[in-house]
A and B are shown apart, each in its own frame.
Chain A
Amino acid sequence: MSTNTSQTPAERLRDAGLYAPGDAVLSVRDLNVRFNSENGVVHAVRGVDFDLMPGKTLGIVGESGSGKSVTSMAVMGLLPETADITGSVRFKGKELLGLSDKAMCKHRGSDIAMVFQDPLSSLTPVYTVGHQIIEALTVHNPTMSKQAKEARAVDLLRMVGIPSPKDRLKAFPHEFSGGMRQRVMIAIAIANDPRVLIADEPTTALDVTIQAQVLEVLHTAQEETGAAVVMITHDLGVVAGMADDIMVMYAGKPVETGTVEDIYYNPRMPYTLGLLGAVPRVDTSGKQSLVPIEGTPPNLALPVTGCSFAARCPMVSDACLHGEPELFPVPGVEGQTLGHKAACIKADQLSGDADAHKIFQAPPKPVSKFDGVARAERAKVLELKDVKKHFPLLKGALIKRRIGTVKAVDGLSFDIREGECVSIVGESGCGKTTTLLEIMEFHPDQVGEVVIGGVSNKVATDHKTKMAMRKEMQMVFQDPTGALDPRFTVYEVLAEPLENLGMPKAAIKKRIMELMKLVGLQPDHVNRFPNQFSGGQRQRIGIARALAVNPKLVVLDEPVSALDVSVQAGVINLLDKLRAELGLSYLMVAHDLSVVRHISDRVAVMYLGKIVETGDVDDVFDHPRHPYTRALLSAIPVPDPALERTRERIILQGDLPSPLDAPKGCNFATRCPVFAALPAAKQEKCLTLEPPLASEKEGTQDFACFFPDGEIDSDMLVVHA
């Protein structure tokens, strides 16, 4: 083993080739990709090795920029010509690297197929869906008859779960939702029964419910074709149930590989350990803070001298800085196909019971002075009474005519007490953002009443009341980059709200220094521009700006969804800390239910502009009553392979219906898994009456359903055995 360090890449290649089991469909050896950029050569992928066995699934996990996509594109031969690729990629023993574009085309789409991340832009807008599927068939089967191709296309669409596939062949991509387009992408990918299917973050752009559907389709596709799958993701939950093997990448290099169990239950690399501790879990209450991994990944344009994780590693020592650690087999594990390997010189110090919280020095869960006070005794900082927002629905790209009304927010009432965090969850399009905007606008002409800190919007007609309200409530945005004017230094960003209050210069300066410290940024960085900070730091600046005027309530619009898991944990911990220390209240909108469970006290589940279930977060998450909440929760994958494999999940059919077709009775009836299993007599009730939002017995949990805890239709229930 110790000789390995002195081997040249060529020798390692040969050795690796010897060890590669002959029956791998795809073998990658010492793959290196370099790009020339303005700042020098970016070494994006540095020595990736893996073998993919027939019918198996390999998960590649890593944070943004770790080289996952570049690896997959290199395998597909889709990188730009300017990329410098070395190493070996063999499909069934045949070398693919170095093939001409034309020679590679024989393999692309027939032997190896790929599904990309963004379904919205991955289909050509000017061709019908059918045309694009048939094209994939034509390329590899030039002799196939037209009818045969059409029949196959219909089959494929049916297989990926598109209703009335025959008619849908003639639809254009823009007539499909994101989830349906991703299904089409999968249909195209499996059209020629590929042996290898590469999916690059196939569900990242989708809602959780749709993600569950698409993952299910991928599962079916794999079963039908028997293809081996490479599943690329940043979400440790997504691959836990699907993958057989996992490769964790960091800074362009695999840092730990092994079976799912190895990785999830016995991580031997501090980075993997940190990642696992950094993700909040939807199935356990968040009474422990998350594991933050401070810092940012190294710049790949600079030469690597030591362990690439050293700058962020809590276990770093001098030895780590001399030479990059190789991927060595972890002692004590023998005989597995891939072998459990980790690139860390201290791998053996991390045994199965290593505690990430201790190693990464996660802060203790902070306690707010309000936590001891009963909810009813705390003052209300925000109250919504029957707030509505209806938009006219216009149709036609050129002539707009009104064809109906979208009830984006339809009679919302809830309140937020001092010191608590209330979250609104739901699929995209259910009215979360509109609710926030209605609150932020704070306009007297709104339908319904918004009361902030005792001031009602009905009386907020003059500038002074409005300003007073603006001091009470501030907002943090989803995209930390877009929320900061690129031309402002951090000082200017933070000074803006303070100047607006007419604070004197000296006081502003003092306050800004305080704020920087509060959110964990170095005070002497104030005269930098936003683009000189990482995403997580930018979000901290956004938080500091919101806190500048000492508000009581902070509105958080998806505060961490644009951040990488490792960075996300730090920001969530910060939010937790600030809530406790400053006695803040939060109103948060998030689609990631794990994050919601971790930081909120109460949750409201929205569907088509209405709250369908609300209550204390632990009550709702542990005992969901409404079928929609149940489906939503079961759609979230958890980073625990054993649990994921055996878990029952409810797969909702179809997308969020168009607000126009909202049924008369319960508006969830069209997709409701309980409704589908009801006898016709009981269904009548759901279809004619609107279930009120109420609690069953004395309790904090309200829901709007006639048949809580009802039996789920078996068609919508899936268990992978």
Chain B
Amino acid sequence: MLKYLMKRSGIYLIMIFLTTSAGYFLAVSSLKPAVLEQEKIPRPTPEQVAASFRGLGLDPELNPWERYVQWLGGIVTRWDWGRSPNGAFVNAEFADRVMVSTRLFIASIILTLVIGVALGVYSAARQYKVQDRVITSYSYLVHILPAPIAYFLVQLGAIGINEAVGQRIFFVTGISTPGIEPGWPAFVDLVAHYAVPTFAMTIFGWAGYQIAQRQYLLDNVNADFVRTARAKGLTRNQAIRKHALRVSFIPVAQSIAFTIPAIFTGGFFAEAIFAWPGIGLWSIQAISLQDVNVATATLAYGSVIFAIGAILADFATTLVDPRVRVQ
């Protein structure tokens, strides 16, 4: 198992390297921070700009390949992911950003999963009944609603509640109120900030799991081994619960791991709408600020998350399916 993990990780490392490198070239050839510097007042001379960028390791006069070598050298020798045009170090901000994103997503990832799988099972058990139709139609509806718009609608709703109550209960943007005193008030503040994004991401997130779990379970409801279980004397519901359900988890377990990167992208929209300064938002800001190094770093982060997801998927499969257990 360990050997296998090592091998897979090796392959993914190569892939991460390639995608990140490709991303770097894309960024370095299309992002030109100098253009923004020109708009500063007082307007610096091109020589000044070039000089200041050279100091930051962003020399615009070097060709992309030279800059790539310089950039890669920094990472390999000093684990230094470079600097922004304004002089900030990428490494310094990275950890904070990752923390913010993780904090934002973790609750909704878990909620989405639990609710989605539970609803999938519930609706499969009531196939073609009203409950199933309502739940499944909702999931299909979510599929044709773009995430940012969905989040925006939730925001509108939260504002509506605030107005109806006449008092600000929910924050619809931001991460915390600055200068709040620690203890109970800080906790209330935290919840008030968390509630809306978590709610939004959860109710628009579970659709995929619900549909998948429902489908896999239905695929197994009439399987031969369920019939065997019933022939033993289990009722239909017992047979489904004990046999079909367990088998239907196998593909779901796989897909769960694969959706983690999808949450990263989806989360990007959430960060943008709810104004949480996470990785996703950072990457977008980096682009509007023509910041090559930050853009590439966030891209690398995305690839790493993907690789972890894929390896987790393998791992999950071996856990739930005895047929692929490695001795």
Instruction: Enumerate B217-235 residues with CB–CB distance to A below 8 Å.
Output: 222-225, 227-235
Residue of B236, B322, B326 touching A396 (CB-CB under 8 A): B326
- Interface SS, B side: helix
- B97 adjacent to chain A (CB < 8 Å): no
Residue of B4, B232, B246, B326 touching A126 (CB-CB under 8 A): B246
A–B complex contacts, Cβ < 8 Å, 19 sampled: A101-B236, A105-B233, A105-B235, A109-B231, A109-B232, A109-B233, A110-B233, A116-B227, A116-B228, A118-B224, A125-B322, A125-B323, A135-B242, A136-B232, A139-B234, A174-B322, A397-B324, A398-B4, A399-B326
Instruction: Enumerate B272-321 residues with CB–CB distance to A below 8 Å.
Output: 314, 318, 320-321
- B115 adjacent to chain A (CB < 8 Å): no
Q: What's the Cα separation between A496 and B4 when bound, in Å?
A: 47
Question: Are A126 and B247 neighbours in the complex by a CB distance under 8 Å?
Answer: yes
- A108 adjacent to chain B (CB < 8 Å): yes
- B7 adjacent to chain A (CB < 8 Å): yes
Chain A residues with CB under 8 Å of B318's CB are: 398
- A-B pairs, top 4 by smallest CB distance, nearest first, are A109-B233, A397-B324, A121-B224, A139-B233
Closest B residue by C-beta to A113: B231
Q: What's the Cα separation between A80 and B321 when bound, in Å?
A: 28
Chain B residues with CB under 8 Å of A189's CB are: 231
**Residue in B235, B250, B320 with the greatest tally of chain A CB atoms within 10 Å:** B235
- B32 adjacent to chain A (CB < 8 Å): no
Contact with B along A378-404 (1 / 0, CB 8 A): 000000000000000000111100000
Known: A125-B322, A126-B322, A135-B242. 5 other contacts (CB 8 A): A109-B233, A121-B223, A125-B321, A172-B323, A399-B7
Q: What's the Cα separation between A135 and B233 when bound, in Å?
A: 9
- B78 adjacent to chain A (CB < 8 Å): no
Q: What's the Cα separation between A113 and B246 when bound, in Å?
A: 24
Q: A121-B223, A172-B323, A397-B324 in contact; A188/B314 too (CB < 8 A)? A: no
Chain B residues with CB under 8 Å of A108's CB are: 230-233
Chain B residues with CB under 8 Å of A116's CB are: 224, 227-228, 231
Task: Please report the number of residue pairs spanning A and B whose Cβ atoms sit closer than 8 angstroms.
Answer: 94
- B3 adjacent to chain A (CB < 8 Å): yes
- A146 adjacent to chain B (CB < 8 Å): no
Q: A-contacting residues of B (Cβ < 8 Å)?
A: 3-4, 7, 222-225, 227-236, 242-243, 246-247, 250, 314, 318, 320-327
Chain B residues with CB under 8 Å of A553's CB are: none
Question: Are A188 and B326 neighbours in the complex by a CB distance under 8 Å?
Answer: no
Q: A114-B231, A124-B243, A125-B323 in contact; A399/B224 too (CB < 8 A)? A: no
Closest B residue by C-beta to A102: B235
Question: Are B322 and A76 neighbours in the complex by a CB distance under 8 Å?
Answer: no
Question: Are B228 and A185 neighbours in the complex by a CB distance under 8 Å?
Answer: yes
How many residues of chain A have a CB within 8 Å of chain B? 38
Chain B residues with CB under 8 Å of A191's CB are: 232
Q: What's the Cα separation between A266 and B119 when bound, in Å?
A: 61
**Residue in A126, A135, A188 with the greatest tally of chain B CB atoms within 10 Å:** A126
Residue of A105, A135, A172 touching B322 (CB-CB under 8 A): A172
Question: Are B314 and A78 neighbours in the complex by a CB distance under 8 Å?
Answer: no
- A122 adjacent to chain B (CB < 8 Å): yes
- A682 adjacent to chain B (CB < 8 Å): no
Chain B residues with CB under 8 Å of A102's CB are: 235
Q: What's the Cα separation between A113 and B229 when bound, in Å?
A: 11
Chain B residues with CB under 8 Å of A135's CB are: 229, 232, 234, 242
Question: Are B231 and A398 neighbours in the complex by a CB distance under 8 Å?
Answer: no
Q: What's the Cα separation between A149 and B303 when bound, in Å?
A: 51
- A106 adjacent to chain B (CB < 8 Å): yes
Q: A125-B323, A126-B320, A174-B322 in contact; A140/B233 too (CB < 8 A)? A: yes
- A347 adjacent to chain B (CB < 8 Å): no
- A123 adjacent to chain B (CB < 8 Å): yes
Q: What's the Cα separation between A397 and B243 when bound, in Å?
A: 23
Residue of B227, B246, B326 touching A78 (CB-CB under 8 A): B227
Q: In the assembled complex, how far is the CB of residue B282 from the closest CB belonging to chain A, in whole angstroms?
A: 36
Q: What's the Cα separation between A396 and B222 when bound, in Å?
A: 30
